[in-house]
Amino acid sequence: MDMLLQVGYLITAILFIMGVMRLRSPATAKSGNLIAASGMVVAFVVTLVQYHSFSWLWIGLALILGAIVGSYAALKVRMTAMPQMVALFNGMGGGAAALVSIGELHSQWSVGVSSAAASIAALLTVLIGSISFTGSLLAFAKLQEWVRGRPITFGGQKLLNGLLLAVALVLGIMMIVSGGPHALPWLGVYIVLAALLGLLLVLPIGGADMPVVISLLNAFTGLAAAATGFLMSNNVLIIAGALVGASGTILTQQMSRAMNRPIHNIVFGAFGQVAAGAG
């Protein structure tokens, strides 16, 4: 790979870590966010220089539109609505990761070349990214009160989740063993299953617990980005994704501890609460 790209990505990784370090104290937090953002700019610029052979019209349009919509939404929203905005943008990241892997897998399968390692990384990204996408969107809708904020549960929900996950995993293994153009419909089924899982994960969670779940989904998106890094042999994706995945997991733990509840109680607790409420 190109020298400029690698050096740029190294600088980005350093700036990301320094940024998060400064975010650990209220006095330096704002500069930490700025440092992390400048790391993003470095990665963005060297990537544009390295991979300039795309359609500038379409990619330029997507970039400009994304920047306008993103900054407008983020500036316009009320301060009290910040958690759902984090959820929304997190979902966008998860969706982007899933799309990148779907696109990469589709173009690899179309010409018939794909290693098992690449397929594993891609299918993991699609699974985690899609869960994060639909889960975050539902978290947003619940906090925005577009959907009833109270936990929504029904009988056999845990069983259904387990079953869906098992089917998705079997399907994933099938596609790893025999990827290719013929497997594309199965990839479609796999995406739908993952998207459903994201919804089912967030449905039983009440509004008050939502920040913890958003933090968990944030860690998911980080892992999805890291898996995409393995797929595309892109070190900065691996580093930043692993950083967010790990720090997001710890953060989720600390947030649930601050609420005096273990994390599994928040994610799966609604079932017990409903039973207790009915009894």
Partner 1 sequence: MPHSLLTEIYIFVLAVFVGFQLISKVPSVLHTPLMSATNAIHGIILVGAIALAATVKGPLDVGISVAAVFLATLNVVGGYVVTDRILGMFKKKSAERPTE
CB of 163 or CB of 254, closer to partner 1: 254
Q: How many residues bind partner 1 (CB under 8 A)?
A: 100
Taking Cα atoms as reference points, which of 209, 217, 219 lies closest to residue 259? Answer: 209
Q: Rounded distance, CA 96 to CA 228, Å? A: 10
Cβ of residue 62: shortest distance to partner 1, in angstroms?
A: 4
Cβ of residue 19: shortest distance to partner 1, in angstroms?
A: 7
Q: Is 247 in the site for partner 1 (CB under 8 A)?
A: yes
Judge whether 64 and 89 are in contact, CB under 8 Å. Answer: no
Binding residues for partner 1 restricted to 225-244, rule: CB under 8 A: 225-226, 228-230, 232-244
Number of Cβ within a 10 Å radius of residue 21: 13
Q: Is 269 in the site for partner 1 (CB under 8 A)?
A: no
CA 160 to each of CA 73, 106, 196: distance values in angstroms, whole numbers, following the listed order? 35, 29, 11
Cβ of residue 95: shortest distance to partner 1, in angstroms?
A: 5
Judge whether 205 and 252 are in contact, CB under 8 Å. Answer: no
Cβ of residue 193: shortest distance to partner 1, in angstroms?
A: 19
Buried/exposed code over 200-234 (b: 16+ C-beta within 10 A; e: otherwise): bbbbbbbeebbbbbbbbbbbbbbbbbbbbbbbbeb
Q: Is 194 in the site for partner 1 (CB under 8 A)?
A: no
Burial of 132 (0-12, 13-18, 19+ CB in 10 A): buried
CB of 90 or CB of 114, closer to partner 1: 90
Cβ of residue 192: shortest distance to partner 1, in angstroms?
A: 16
Cβ of residue 74: shortest distance to partner 1, in angstroms?
A: 4
Site string for partner 1, 31-70 (x = CB under 8 A): -xx--xx--x--xx--xx-xxxxxx--xx-xxx-xxx-xx
Q: Which stretch binds partner 1 (CB under 8 A): 89-97, 156-164, 198-206, 264-272?
A: 89-97
Site string for partner 1, 129-168 (x = CB under 8 A): ----------------------------------------
Residues 6+ away with beta carbon under 8 Å from 214: 83, 86, 87, 90, 136, 139
CA 112 to each of CA 4, 9, 98: distance values in angstroms, whole numbers, following the listed order? 31, 30, 20
